[in-house]
Amino acid sequence: MEIDLAQRRVRVEQVGNGKAWWEPFDHLLIATGAVPFCPDVPGADAQGIYGLNTLQSGIEVRRAVDQEKPKKAVIVGGGYIGLEMAEGLLRRGLDVSLIDMASQVMNTLDPDMGALVSEALRDAGVELYLEEPLKGFEVEGERVQAVVTDQRTLPADLVILGMGVRPNSALAADGDIPLGVKGAIKVNDRMQTEVEGVWAAGDCAESFHLVSRRPFYVALGTVANKQGRVAGINLGGGYATFPGVVGTAITKVCAVEVARTGLQEKEIQRLGLEYINARIEYRTRARYYPDTGPITVKLLAEKGSGRLLGGQVVGIEGAAKRIDAVAVALHAGLTVDKMINLDLGYAPPYSPVWDPLLIAARQAIKLV
Amino acid sequence: MEIDLAQRRVRVEQVGNGKAWWEPFDHLLIATGAVPFCPDVPGADAQGIYGLNTLQSGIEVRRAVDQEKPKKAVIVGGGYIGLEMAEGLLRRGLDVSLIDMASQVMNTLDPDMGALVSEALRDAGVELYLEEPLKGFEVEGERVQAVVTDQRTLPADLVILGMGVRPNSALAADGDIPLGVKGAIKVNDRMQTEVEGVWAAGDCAESFHLVSRRPFYVALGTVANKQGRVAGINLGGGYATFPGVVGTAITKVCAVEVARTGLQEKEIQRLGLEYINARIEYRTRARYYPDTGPITVKLLAEKGSGRLLGGQVVGIEGAAKRIDAVAVALHAGLTVDKMINLDLGYAPPYSPVWDPLLIAARQAIKLV
């Protein structure tokens, strides 16, 4: 593929039969998605090592588990994909190890909250090796035998790479379409690039962070879908804008639910803001109700003004989707002072009388 | 009890020993709660008929079920208490009938959403008799034998009254403290009554509805707790306000979760506003995820402006607490146009890529 802006045409190559031609355009939408980070280490192309970024790659991993009956799996990377694969492989009966070069899994959480996720992983039976960069793979024949970190060699029948993604923006960059944050294609709220008639949406394109008020890159299906809708309306002659995101993400690791939205501490520090950290531990349901269990809620707010800056939740069933209320509060620019009076739903199967979010807000107003 | 405002004192009677005296006050907090509606029909004081408004009354019902082994229960009233008791008694193996004089259960839902709850009750095995006012009870000896409506006689070993509550404000009214909406004690945002130094909080006091912008009465533990906190801070010499409620309430009937917030259609009509009704049916989780199931979301918004006015949710597990995001949107005065871009959490165990709330918002913007 190639974009020729001067003549407003795109070089199209048909997969499989070698046919290629120049296709003229009035409007061009670039929706090339993201590409996974692949480690540049010895043995990375061995058999038995799987990325997980397409439906096909998922099908291949399942086939490998079904047919090759691997016993030991090593996961490289403790993000959403790594954690979800850890759960999946545990359920299939494999021994699962996970390595991450960072000092915690889920680096979109603050360390104190990430530690709760690490604990949950260990409780579920995952061997966790943190602060251990990947050095390479031991390979025999063409098959992976082990994962090598700077500290150990972990035998592996199956390796999953979950090292994150970056925007697939090479086509745009080669065609002189300006890139923005983290190499994502620079777009405005209508999903227009800086070149007239050229649009971009999805994991290849920038977003705007409504809390930091800065351009932001996030590769998530929700955001890609919203951007696609807006780009489609505009390309069709309509008018729509995508104002941006607040950075919401949720996941599940075995019995533990994990959610985050807004800015985390290191992002707030980078912006030079002063902030307070209100973290509370409570219960998901009324004390006497069956299956009530622990939930930890953390709210971050601007010192002085009390403006909500972010929230993180780790807990058992019923914990994660609570983040939606925090996300809406961020969209609305609420202060924690306003949050303590939010009329959230209470009934014993769902919540204590004071929802954990409200308890965290009450803690927060003491600190701002 | 008696309040003497002229001399700023309260007549206190000690329960059990007949002692009584006048207690002077500088500040007085009235927190007398609510009293259940009791039907003024023949036989209403028979044995085997239980209200359910105190912890003690709950203990008595459980003891009756444990010891008297009733087979047939009839519940009078299809509100929260009636529905929750229906579930509880079904689980204890009783045959359960429920009568309500209205044409639907859960009259805080619009009829189309209430119908889903009626269906869930019938599916769970409850015999439902709607539009059948209670006429009385058949009594033998001192024990209830049957519940009589205008259309039938239902044999009953156990009767539960769930006909709602009204503010317990007689003490205040007799003491010349002004009442407001539905006979609740009139208070300002600090929980001050119209009499200097006299405060009220909880189920005996008024609230303010932030969507209708009118005084409002609701007897719910969440609201009572928030009011109590605010009254306590002010009585202690501090300063706090309770701005009001948006009318959130949730409940659970067997496998079905029910939630509502904001104004329902009849309330909007009473305010003379024009509105749109966006109701969608979708799934609680990703299509391919285990235990995904139906959820119906209804959003009501002002015609023209698009201002959100209310929301209702009925669905399986994971449905109800979604109302919190709608409640926060109401607190913030969001329009449905803004709601379509809310950054709500998505992961397959929790939601489709477009959360049902967002799908409803997309429907709503087509109609406003």
In the prediction, which pLDDT does B114 show? 97
Global ipTM: 0.96
The domain containing residue A121 runs over which residues?
A: 38-163
Q: Domain for residue A310, yes or no?
A: yes
Q: Which candidate, A117, A86, A300, A128, places its Cα nearest to that of A211?
A: A300
Mean pLDDT for the stretch of residues A100-123: 96
Domain boundary among the residues A138, A163, A188 is at A163
**A340 — pLDDT class (breaks 50, 70, 90):** very high
Mean pLDDT for the stretch of residues A11-39: 94
Mean pLDDT for the stretch of residues A36-62: 94
**CB contact, 8 Å: B204 with chain A?**
no
Q: Which pTM value belongs to this model? A: 0.96
Give the count of Cβ contacts less than 8 A between chain A and B. Answer: 151
Question: Are residues B299 and B206 both part of a single domain?
Answer: no
Taking an 8 Å cut-off on Cβ atoms, the answer to whether A222 and B344 are in contact is yes
Question: Are residues B207 and B123 both part of a single domain?
Answer: no
Q: Which residues of B touch A321 (CB under 8 A)?
A: 318, 321-322, 345, 350-351
Domain boundary among the residues A163, A195, A220 is at A163
Question: Are residues A27 and A68 both part of a single domain?
Answer: no
Nearest to B345 among A248, A330, A341 (CB): A248
Q: Which residues of A touch B249 (CB under 8 A)?
A: 345, 347
In the prediction, which pLDDT does A116 show? 97
Question: Are residues A109 and A16 both part of a single domain?
Answer: no
Taking an 8 Å cut-off on Cβ atoms, the answer to whether B332 and A327 are in contact is no
**Closest residue in chain B to residue A242, using alpha carbons only:** B341
In the prediction, which pLDDT does B194 show? 97
Q: Domain for residue A262, yes or no?
A: yes
Question: Are residues A290 and A352 both part of a single domain?
Answer: yes
The three-state (H, E, C) secondary structure of chain A, written as one string: CEEECCCCEEEEECCCCCCEEEEECCCEEECCCEEECCCCCCCCCCECEECCCCHHHHHHHHHHHHHHCCCEEEEECCCHHHHHHHHHHHHCCCEEEEEECCCCCCCCCCHHHHHHHHHHHHHHCCEEEECCCEEEEEEECCEEEEEEECCCEEECCEEEECCCEEECCHHHHHCCCCECHHHCECCCCCCECCCCCEEECCCCECEEECCCCEEECCCCHHHHHHHHHHHHHHHCCCCCCCCCECCCEEEEECCEEEEEEECCHHHHHHCCCCEEEEEEEEECCCCCCCCCCEEEEEEEEECCCCEEEEEEEEECCCCHHHHHHHHHHHHCCCEHHHHCCCCCCCCCCCCCCCCHHHHHHHHHHHHC
Question: Are residues B135 and B280 both part of a single domain?
Answer: no
CA distance B241 to B209: 14
CA distance A150 to A153: 9
Nearest to A323 among B318, B338, B345 (CB): B345
Contacts of A236 (CB under 8 A, 6+ apart): none
Q: Domain for residue B243, yes or no?
A: no
CA distance A175 to A13: 16
SS3 B352: coil
Residues 242-261 in A contacting B (C-alpha not used; CB under 8 Å): 242-252, 259, 261
> pLDDT tens digits for A297-330?
999 999 999 999 999 999 999 999 999 999 999 9
pLDDT tens series, chain B, 368 aa: 899 999 999 999 998 898 999 999 999 999 999 999 999 999 999 999 999 888 999 999 999 999 999 999 999 999 999 999 999 999 999 999 999 999 999 999 999 999 999 999 999 999 999 999 999 999 999 999 999 999 999 999 999 999 999 999 999 999 999 999 999 999 999 999 999 999 999 999 999 999 999 999 999 999 999 999 999 999 999 999 999 999 999 999 999 999 999 999 999 999 999 999 999 999 999 999 999 999 999 999 999 999 999 999 999 999 999 999 999 999 999 999 999 999 999 999 999 999 999 999 999 999 99
Number of domains in chain A: 3
Domain boundary among the residues B163, B189, B222 is at B163
Taking an 8 Å cut-off on Cβ atoms, the answer to whether B321 and A350 are in contact is yes
Q: Domain for residue A153, yes or no?
A: yes
**CB contact, 8 Å: A290 with chain B?**
no
Q: Domain for residue A52, yes or no?
A: yes
For residue B25, give how far its alpha carbon lies from the nearest alpha carbon of chain A (Å).
Answer: 29
Count of helix runs (H) and strand runs (E) in chain B:
9, 22
List the CATH number of the domain containing B196. 3.50.50.60
CA distance A21 to A11: 6
**CB contact, 8 Å: A334 with chain B?**
yes
Q: Domain for residue A250, yes or no?
A: no
List the CATH number of the domain containing A314. 3.30.390.30
Q: Domain for residue A15, yes or no?
A: yes
Residues 88-127 in A contacting B (C-alpha not used; CB under 8 Å): none
Question: Are residues B6 and B55 both part of a single domain?
Answer: no
In the prediction, which pLDDT does A231 show? 98
Question: Are residues A296 and A333 both part of a single domain?
Answer: yes
Best residue in A81, A323, A343 for a mutation probing chain B (most B CBs within 10 Å) = A343
Q: Which residues of A touch B225 (CB under 8 A)?
A: 353-354
Taking an 8 Å cut-off on Cβ atoms, the answer to whether B252 and A349 are in contact is yes
Question: Are residues B270 and B359 both part of a single domain?
Answer: yes
Taking an 8 Å cut-off on Cβ atoms, the answer to whether B249 and A324 are in contact is no
Question: Are residues A185 and A220 both part of a single domain?
Answer: yes
Q: Which candidate, B112, B117, B65, places its Cα nearest to that of B93?
A: B65
**A18 — pLDDT class (breaks 50, 70, 90):** confident
**Closest residue in chain B to residue A81, using alpha carbons only:** B347
Best residue in B81, B324, B337, B355 for a mutation probing chain A (most A CBs within 10 Å) = B324
> DSSP of B306-324, one letter per residue?
-BEEEEEEEESTTSGGGHH
Mean pLDDT for the stretch of residues A117-146: 97
Question: Are residues B54 and B146 both part of a single domain?
Answer: yes
SS3 A4: strand
Q: Looking at the predicted structure, is the pLDDT value of residue A161 above 90?
A: yes
Helix (H) or strand (E) holding A235: helix A221-235
Question: Are residues A23 and A90 both part of a single domain?
Answer: no
Nearest to A325 among B328, B334, B346 (CB): B328
Q: Domain for residue B192, yes or no?
A: yes
